[in-house]
Amino acid sequence: MPEPDTDLDACLERVLAGDPEASRALIALCHPLVRRIVRAYRPRSVTVEDLTQDVFIKMFAHLHHYEPRAEKAFEPWVARIAVNTCKDALRGEARRSASIPISEAAAPWLEFLATEREPAVEDELGARELVDVLFAELPPEDRLVLTLVDLEGRSSAEVAALTGWSRALVKVRAFRARLRLRAVAARRGEGLRG
C-alpha cells in the first residue's frame, strides 16, 4: 500500500497534527485499497464514491486510536474499517432485498442452482445478476464471507485478517452462509416455478 519512499509513521503524525497535505497524501496511499474493498462489498443502492468517502471519514475520525504494531499493520486496520463500513451499509439493503425480481437472463441460473442440473446457458451476466440478487437476501456477514472465500478465492487467514474473525470462525461462517444461500435459491426457485 504505501510507496517505498513514503514514511507512513511520519505521515500519520503529520495528519494527527492537522497537516492537510499529509491528509491528502494518506488518502492517496489508501485510496486503491479502500476503493477495491468498497467495489466488492458495497450494496447496490450506494455509490462507490459515497461509500469510499464514508470509509475515509471513519478512518480520520478513528486515526487517533490507531497503534502501529508491525510494519504493515496500517493496511489491515484501514481494510477492517472499509469492510465494517460496507457491512453497515449492507444491513440496510438486506431489509429491502426480497422484492428484487429475477430477470429472464438470471432465471436459468436459478433453475440450475435449485435442481443442480447442468446450466442450459452460458450467460455470465445472468449468473452475476443472480449472485447479486441472492447475496442481497443474505446477512452482511454471509455476503462478505462468500465474496471473500468463494468469489475471490482468499484463504481463511486472509479473511481473518480483513474481518478480525478467527480462522475457525471464517470456515464456520462460510459453511453456514453456503447453506443459507442454497435456501434462498431454493425459495426463489419455488417462486419462479409456483
Domain coordinates in residue numbering, the chain: 1-95, 98-194
Q: Region 91-111: what's the mean pLDDT?
A: 63
- Is the pLDDT at 39 greater than 90, yes or no? no
Quick one: pLDDT at residue 108?
Answer: 65
Whether 50 contacts 39, CB under 8 Å: no
CATH 1.10.1740.10 is right for the domain spanning 1-95? yes
Q: Region 131-155: what's the mean pLDDT?
A: 85
Question: Could you give the C-alpha distances from 194 to 49, 186, 189, in angstroms and in order?
Answer: 40, 12, 8
Q: Region 89-104: what's the mean pLDDT?
A: 63
Comparison of pLDDT for 175 and 68, the residue scoring more: 175
Q: Region 182-187: what's the mean pLDDT?
A: 84
Quick one: pLDDT at residue 172?
Answer: 95
Q: Region 2-27: what's the mean pLDDT?
A: 82
Quick one: pLDDT at residue 171?
Answer: 95
Q: What is the rounded CA–CA span in Å between residue 82 and residue 22?
A: 20
Question: How is domain 98-194 classified at the CATH fold level?
Answer: Arc Repressor Mutant, subunit A (1.10.10)
Quick one: pLDDT at residue 1?
Answer: 46
Quick one: pLDDT at residue 185?
Answer: 83
Q: Region 65-71: what's the mean pLDDT?
A: 72
> For residue 150, what is its C-alpha cell?
468463494
HSE-CB for 138 with a 13 A CA cutoff: 28
Quick one: pLDDT at residue 118?
Answer: 64
Whether 87 contacts 142, CB under 8 Å: no
Q: What is the percent of the chain where pLDDT is above 70?
A: 76
Comparison of pLDDT for 96 and 11, the residue scoring more: 11
12-27 burial code (b ≥16 CB/10 A, e <16): bebbeeeeeebbebbe
